[in-house]
Chains A and B, each alone.
Chain A
Amino acid sequence: MADYLRPSSLDEALQALARPWTVLAGGTDFYPARVGRAIDENVLDIGGIAILRGITAEPGGWRLGATTTWSELLEAGLPPLFDGLKQAAREIGGRQIQNAGTIAGNLCNASPAADGVPPLLALDAEVELAGRAGMRRLPLASFITGNRRTVLAPGELLVAIHVPRPARDARSAFLKLGARRYLVISIAMAAATLEIEDGRITAARIAVGACSAVAQRLPALEAALVGATVGFLAARVEALHLAPLSPIDDVRGSAGYRREAAATLLRRLLARFAS
């Protein structure tokens, strides 16, 4: 019989990670990968570690505990900066998945179609990784390195996501494209965070998901938006801005369609900021 450990402290979890464990949090990716077969690996359930859960405002920004669920995020009192992330939260699975699935789980699972990644990239999020040797922080963009691949080292846990407080008032938004309503894997999605002063964009962070192995920021588009007036953002989107994307053909859509749909989503997303 394999081991199951559900520690109540982070320390205990990190000590346990001296040997290999499969980490379990919300279970929404763990169990679907184990349909119809005995579960025979050692499982470290981090869901009982209080410090890993919940959202706190800090001077420099916000700390989202790793095992905070999407529903908890939706219910948290957060500024408009988080609207895009909340819009993504509502599009993840159905309500059952939102009630169980965790933010860090979505990142560590590292699916190209992870709905949480583009809005967090657009929030300039960093991840905090803890190991027995200490902790390290790195940008989300450096954390996920490929399809189902992250830089999480053996013995490390993703313990928190940090969202920095923008220099100015910022708003965010998210759009998802799927072939049905609810419970759908994204064909493409787009997220934007815009800092706005006097009706003009002072900083923009844009990310597109499901159009490359890892969701991508679009720096050229971000640069093109700076200085633009909020009512006229959509027209700034150009095909060239989508160069970082490398969409593929699969059962949900063709590469060409994805590239075009991403541009359409971006235009619509940016148009939303006009109101």
Chain B
Amino acid sequence: MKIAFTLNGRAADWNGPPITRLAAALRDDLGLTGTKIGCDAGDCGACTVRLDGRQVCSCLVAMGQVAGRRIETVESLADADGTLSALQKSFLDHGAAQCGICTPGMLMAAQDVLANGHTPSRLEIEDALGGVLCRCTGYSKIVDAVMACAPSADIAPPAGAAVGARLPRLDGVPKVTGRDRFGADAVPADALWIRVVRSPHARARFTVGDLAPLRARLVAVLTAADVPFNGYGIYPDIKDQPVLADGLVRYRGEAVLALVGARADVLAIRDQEVPIAWTPEPPLYGIDAATAPDAPLVQADKPKNLLLDGGVKHGSLDAFAGCAAIAEGTFETAFVEHAYIEPEAGWARRVGDRIEIHASTQTPYMDRDEIASVMRLKPEAVRVVPTACGGGFGGKLDLSVQPLIGIAAWKLGRPVALVYTRPESMAASTKRHPARVRAKFGCDAAGKLVACDVHATFDTGAYASWGPTVANRVPVHAMGPYAVPNVRTWGEAFFTNGPPAGAFRGFGVPQAAIAHEAMMDALADQLGIDWLEFRHRNALRAGDVTACGQRLEHSAGLAQCLEALRPHWRKAQTESAAFNLKGGPRRRGVGVGCMWYGIGNTSMSNPSRMKIGLAVDGTLTLFSGALDIGQGSNTIMTQIAADALGLPVAQFTLVTGDTDLTADAGKTSASRQTFVSGKAAENAGRDLRQQILRLANAGSDAALSLEGTALTVRDGAEVRTLETAKVGPLMGEGTFDPPTTPLDANGQGIPYATYAFAAQIAVVEVDIELGTVKVLRMVAAHDVGKAINPTLVEGQIEGGIAQGLGLALMEEYLPGRTENLHDYLIPTIGDVPEIECILIEDREPLGPSGAKGVGEPGLVPTAPAILGAIHHATGVRMQRVPVLPHRLREAILAQGPAP
């Protein structure tokens, strides 16, 4: 059916089935991929457009309904000449776009409050934007951007002044205009599509019947037999996860078959039509089931369902005997879903004897090697070209669409695409490890910690994924950021029939922090010491030795963080006490959480290599393999490289991610890109600078400038101009691998070269009759070494806090029950409070300009601070998250009369 309407001010028409979703028509047929699809169910708002001036989810509008009507998409906002609208510019200036996948929806929703010409209140903004989910920003900078939507001057730092500047993200314009290309945005028109048939059972055997009828309707149906090497996994020695299950499934959502064909054809086939005979078996859910004496095995070669265990021993636990106060507790957490707003997506094509993978990822080189392994190709035969990544948070460190699109494209000689649906993304992808953390801490009468014993047990789900990383990292961190002379920590991970638990912002440390911070509050209470002061007394400081036996030489800024929080802490205490004097069912409380976080891999090499090229035509290019998944590394790397080289940021072009064009800068995880790849970028900048200075025979203080092909070197009074056409091309290279050592059997060694430290305060209001918790305010003090770009650093902290808030209060993934974004809740703009960030810069000499990392630290202290605040408000220490209203109400009732 032909349908005519007005699209972005122009007459347009479209022809197709009228039941087609507007979102699909815009993207697939009208070429407007600025409208993003996050759920196809009205739950996320990424596809928000305006229909006759009202915001709607374009995934819920039938094309048949738009005849004669007026549609505006994100593409309508900028002028034809590319001039950004005031709101787009404001989003850029405020750092309101991180990964950018929700940005078009946010911008379109925000038109509600811009239209009427007054400065909107925070509540008006929340009401207007309440239907769009963002998983990156914590919404703070989005609110700021809408509230302060006014033209502002551009920031263009001169040579040598980029580091420390609040530079708008260099890749931001495509994000606010909708032109950025995410995994589903640039699929070739002639691509075949895959629909994956997944297991409805958590544990079952199965046989596949006659596929000939299906194959007759499609181009291909792939089974386990089509996978050259049917096992993948993060660790070189644990390739336990099949690309397609072979007769046995170990979790609900596991991939079984891949239907390949025209998109409409694969979508038309219902699971009931696929001949699979299932024999379900009782699934093992949870740690207790997996560790029961008679538990069946999840992986035949993993006795006791144990993936891995290990710990740290320092001093003697006999020291508990002399403690003046001892606290103990056991804390439990749930499966948590990454809920990036961009579901996994990508496409592949065969180019001669190579396979090219265009997909959303956090780790191009690991993907390359893993795809090569699965396809039995040489790594050089695989080219990974990362698309823009619409959020990762650890979830896009594992393979998702890549092996299937690679195998199909290789086999069929045609481009092949796969875009997960939201329920598929949630069912198939990795999760945060559920944990049970048993903690015991003791201190002396002066409140100095003496001993700790922490036993952390993790549910690693059906496959290993990053489970070993979690089980290794947690024992190193489980005593918290404190000087404790006698330590025993233990981490262990067990297989279950839950979804594979993998990497998720913090690698198990957020779970452990809930336990150690509860212990700090409990010990402080026993001795009558203020919670914040108790932590300050015990904070690890430069010169202290950790439980691993590592002397912290520099950059241990927890005490400074707590000092910076002290006035906020006292004010919040006073205010909440005054509020509570009024009585009534609403009680306020204040809590504090602290954390430390080792930057980079645990006791493992994780080098980065960066290159900066000066071409004969004068083009200056940073070749960065560090993937920007929204956190800002494209901008950070350039700022660092620019100052190291001595030329302005504005002169750089950026080539990022493509494994054919860039060097391996490792994965975007473990908060490592600024510290590790940033240092490599700094070294690359210095290397290129040295080459130029040598060519110009100039001293190290010389100033560089580049105009066209004229590279001018000013060394005092002496000025020399080099022609890039003559001296070029030049290539500066830099590498960095943080110095660590292996841990021995007792966990002694140097697991990390440096650590981030942080402390956060949460102020909450608890409705004690309903058990609901509203976080009113967060103040976050983070020792980041050096904030290369304070706006981006704050963005990481605020986004981390939003995820920490979700972990504490609402997020719980239950297979088969919360596989969408209306049953699985993540915080909306109305849930995340105003956040004040305080940046502490205790320089790390190893890092670029003294910088460390901040990606994960933002999340770690949040849940502990909120749980402490709930305790302060109610007297109840919640030992299980999320603190759903009914759980808190039941705990308040169990406690007896209100305090």
Contact = CB atoms under 8 A, between A and B. Distances in A.
Interface of A: 1-2, 4, 6, 24, 26-28, 30-32, 35-40, 43, 45, 47-48, 71, 90, 93-97, 99-100, 177, 179-185, 187, 251-254, 256-258, 260-261, 264-265
B61 to A, nearest CB: 6
B18 interface: yes
B41 A35 contact: yes
B540 interface: no
Given A32-B42, A96-B45, A177 B424 contact: no
Contacts of B814: 251
B771 interface: yes
A264 B770 contact: yes
B885 A180 contact: no
B128 interface: yes
B424 A182 contact: no
Contacts of A40: 268
B19 interface: yes
Interface string B506-536: 0000000000000000000000000000000
Contacts of B17: 1-2, 4, 39
A181 B831 contact: yes
A182 B56 contact: no
Contact of A95 (B55, B133, B820): B55
A183 B19 contact: no
A238 to B, nearest CB: 16
A32 B42 CA distance: 7
Interface of B: 1, 17-19, 21, 39-43, 45, 48, 51, 54-57, 59-62, 64-65, 109, 112, 126-128, 130-133, 195, 264, 267-268, 270, 421-424, 769-772, 809-810, 812, 814, 817-818, 820, 822-823, 825, 827-831, 884-886, 889-890
B471 to A, nearest CB: 28
Contacts of A177: 770, 772, 885
A180 B18 contact: no
Contacts of B112: 95
A38 B17 CA distance: 11
Would you list the 7 A-B pairs with minimal beta carbon distance, nearest first? A94-B131, A181-B830, A182-B130, A257-B886, A36-B421, A32-B41, A253-B886
Contacts of B131: 93-97, 182-183
A37 B18 CA distance: 16
A187 B885 contact: yes
A151 B422 CA distance: 33
A93 B133 CA distance: 12
Given A6-B65, A31-B60, A35-B422, A94 B886 contact: no
Nearest to B424: A36
A22 to B, nearest CB: 10
A32 B772 contact: no
B60 A28 contact: yes
B830 A180 contact: yes
Contacts of A45: 18, 62, 64-65
A48 B42 CA distance: 22
Candidate in B21, B61, B109 with the most chain A CB atoms within 10 angstroms:
B61
Given A93-B42, A95-B128, A251-B812, A179 B64 contact: no
Contacts of A43: 19, 62
B56 A183 contact: no
Contacts of A90: 127
Contacts of B831: 180-181
Contacts of B64: 4, 6, 45
B121 to A, nearest CB: 15
B60 A26 contact: yes
Contact of A96 (B55, B268, B818): B55
B270 A31 contact: no
B270 A183 contact: no
Contacts of B823: 185, 251
Given A96-B57, A182-B130, A260 B45 contact: no
B227 to A, nearest CB: 23
Contacts of A254: 886, 890
B381 to A, nearest CB: 32
Contact of B61 (A27, A256, A260, A264): A27
B817 A251 contact: yes
Nearest to A26: B60
Contacts of B48: 96
Contacts of B40: 31-32, 35-36
A68 B60 CA distance: 16
A24 B828 CA distance: 28
B54 A31 contact: no
Pick from A94, A95, A100 the residue with the most CB of B within 10 Å. A94
Contacts of A100: 56-57, 60-61
10 contacts: A35-B820, A40-B268, A96-B56, A99-B51, A177-B885, A180-B809, A182-B828, A182-B829, A187-B885, A253-B885
B186 to A, nearest CB: 21
A36 B56 contact: no
Q: Quick one: which of A24, A71, A95, A181 has the most chain B CB within 10 A?
A: A95
Contact of B828 (A6, A99, A181, A251): A181
